[in-house]
A and B are shown apart, each in its own frame.
Chain A
């Protein structure tokens, strides 16, 4: 117990970021990390509902899904996937720079992540606009040129917009948080001793990236030829 108090006092002196109800900086970082992982579990369940809907309907209406998936632009989607994976790399490098107290490099990598994330969102916006122009948004004016099984084709597009829209919302939130983190990094708030927000945001960013890694094959790649999956 005595040692704990000593540790706590030491940590208080060592870093202003330790809040009063924690015994030590280590306990605080531990708690934040566990909290972040628990949050990501809730996010998995959140997307899980949409993934379930996708699998149920894909299983029920394979023809509709195969022909409708041809309406997605494979190459733009692939390029965007690359952009997003690169943003995960720059994010990982940013965490490394924070852990090694390299302030300028941290700011640079966070900015790169911001730029790549924004490019992804811009391209996604372009693709949405394209769908709008071609009346491929479910609703009254929905029309899918050359799609098989007209009754169930809208489901593919509903899922496309539901899943990528929810993903994009997470990206937008991420970009907002990035702006704050860039500002705070610039001020020199993070160093080797305390950079939990950078670490935890990294977890979030990679999570959003991984969601896309699943969305891309499900919406763009699987059975584009319509030959079936067997």
Chain B
């Protein structure tokens, strides 16, 4: 490796370049905006998590000790809305993606810094709407807002909740737009598409889904608000409409949205595994293109949410086959990560533990998805806890594991400090155990026929529900530990240095934390990504 001039620890970095609240709230630095997002998505994660605690407390006993049915409806709805729209979707792209994409492509910033800041304010505005709904009595439709219940019968604040998500959608659109333009137009000299880190490929695919999918949920919620607020009807049969059209429009976004959640995690895992095996990822182009394939096929499978919604059985067959096909690029990734580790010198650091957890849990989540993509099987399993367990394996076991892997992997880069290795490994193990104890019993419950969204259940389901609630308390503890030691590390952590993991990639060539301009001199890239033996990143003055 030839690096000239050598990256030196500079006094001035992006965090201490300016001081005061104004320098944060009016910043156009992608790294500070990433931190703003980090703080806000963490806040929403704990609010959403609080509702998960309520759900598990309610379901600890068959009769439901905490809430009546109406309140319980609001509890799981708020859990879903906050976790999906205000945590999972922005989690990795808006924090790690925002922070790292300009660094990884060797740029000074995203293409549109002001739009980047605007997207954060839009996110906050959408979040405030949602919090307003929360404090004024909530909404009880489920995060799916199915009509005609949501448009004609629900007593909750459907319009405000819908507007909150509508507004928040634009933050997602602007983030995606910014990433696409940055990746197309801001790459450093010599950084060709196939020299890009896989994290960037994953975010490119994610951004494509964000810009193509999010407008559709926006217009769907717009129509829902028109129907509920002005009686300009589209979906309620009372107005001549068809509720199934709502489901089509809703899932046209909301199924691809799960790929918005999982693809960035896959990008993180590709980086982490390559780094801690000190090896080029096995089949770089396959991993890169499988991200794009997931984005493309992800748009063609929404109908598997409508197998029991009067959709034609022939349409159901096509959607079933397409849903199986989307498993192929996902499997390619899992095989390639595994093959990367084969005969690698694997270092079991914290990010690596999370990534290994990701592979296992995502595989279970993905394979159980195939059960649900199967027409006959789905009739039995639809709207049961099997579905809940399946998508929590993908979203919590997958997306959040990937998020934590990424946060731990790039934390030294973001703040220039190391976190305590022992505590972080312990919490990774606690989270893995707690997660499985929470959600594996739900597969069995669902298979036995326990429906989702019910406030009470027959007594014979209690053992498994208690196991699940016990697991949730372990999981909750697991999430609190990193929260504490990461904040602790900001002040007391060991200084990290520019490249604590010995990773390749442009972001490790600059100081930790990076200077405001990212690179002293725009780097010139002369080699492939992940050249662990002969990599060469030259800074030419």
Interface residues of A (CB under 8 A from B): 1-2, 4, 19-21, 23, 27, 30-31, 34-35, 38-39, 41-43, 45-50, 52-53, 56-57, 60-61, 64, 137-140, 151-155, 157-159, 161-162, 166
Contacts and interface: CB of A to CB of B under 8 A. Distances in A.
Contacts of A4: 189, 522
Given A34-B184, A41-B211, A49 B220 contact: yes
B109 A155 contact: no
Given A35-B177, A46-B219, A60-B242, 17 more contacts: A4-B522, A20-B517, A21-B107, A27-B186, A31-B111, A31-B182, A42-B211, A42-B212, A45-B212, A49-B252, A52-B248, A139-B230, A155-B233, A157-B232, A158-B232, A162-B223, A166-B222
Contact of B524 (A1, A64, A161): A1
Contacts of A166: 219, 222
B12 interface: no
B240 A45 contact: no
B215 A46 contact: yes
Given A30-B185, A41-B211, A162-B226, A138 B231 contact: yes
Contacts of A155: 233-234, 239-241
Contacts of A46: 215-216, 218-219
A157 B239 CA distance: 11
A35 B178 CA distance: 7
Contacts of B222: 162, 166
B228 to A, nearest CB: 12
B98 to A, nearest CB: 14
B113 interface: yes
A38 B223 contact: no
B232 A48 contact: no
A48 B234 contact: no
B223 A138 contact: no
Contact of B177 (A39, A52, A137, A152): A39
Contact of A42 (B177, B220, B234): B177
B205 interface: no
A47 B245 CA distance: 15
A11 to B, nearest CB: 14
Contact of B108 (A21, A39, A50, A57): A21
B185 A34 contact: yes
Given A30-B185, A31-B185, A34-B181, A158 B226 contact: yes
Nearest to A48: B216
Nearest to A159: B234
A162 B240 contact: no
B281 interface: no
Contacts of B184: 34
Interface of B: 107-113, 173, 177-178, 180-182, 184-186, 189, 211-216, 218-220, 222-223, 226-227, 230-234, 239-242, 245, 248-249, 252, 517, 522, 524, 540
Contact of B173 (A42, A140, A152): A42
A159 B249 CA distance: 15
24 contacts: A1-B189, A2-B540, A4-B189, A19-B113, A21-B108, A30-B185, A31-B112, A38-B180, A38-B181, A38-B211, A41-B211, A42-B177, A42-B211, A42-B215, A43-B215, A46-B219, A49-B252, A52-B248, A56-B242, A57-B242, A139-B230, A139-B232, A140-B231, A162-B232
Contacts of A47: 219
Nearest to B184: A34
Identify which of B107, B214, B231, B517 gathers the most chain A CB atoms within 10 Å of its CB: B231
Nearest to A160: B232
Contacts of A139: 230-232
Contacts of B219: 46-50, 166
B109 A154 contact: no
Q: Which 10 pairs of residues, A with B, have the shortest CB-CB distance? A: A49-B219, A46-B215, A21-B108, A21-B109, A45-B215, A152-B240, A139-B231, A31-B111, A31-B185, A155-B240
A139 B230 CA distance: 7
A22 to B, nearest CB: 8
A46 to B, nearest CB: 4
A48 B215 contact: yes
A150 to B, nearest CB: 9
B221 to A, nearest CB: 10
Contacts of A158: 226-227, 232-234, 239, 241
Contacts of B218: 46
A138 B177 contact: no
A161 to B, nearest CB: 6
A60 B245 CA distance: 12
A174 to B, nearest CB: 17
A162 B234 contact: yes
B32 to A, nearest CB: 14
Contacts of A161: 226, 232
B233 A138 contact: yes
Contacts of B226: 158, 161-162
B173 A23 contact: no
A176 B239 CA distance: 35
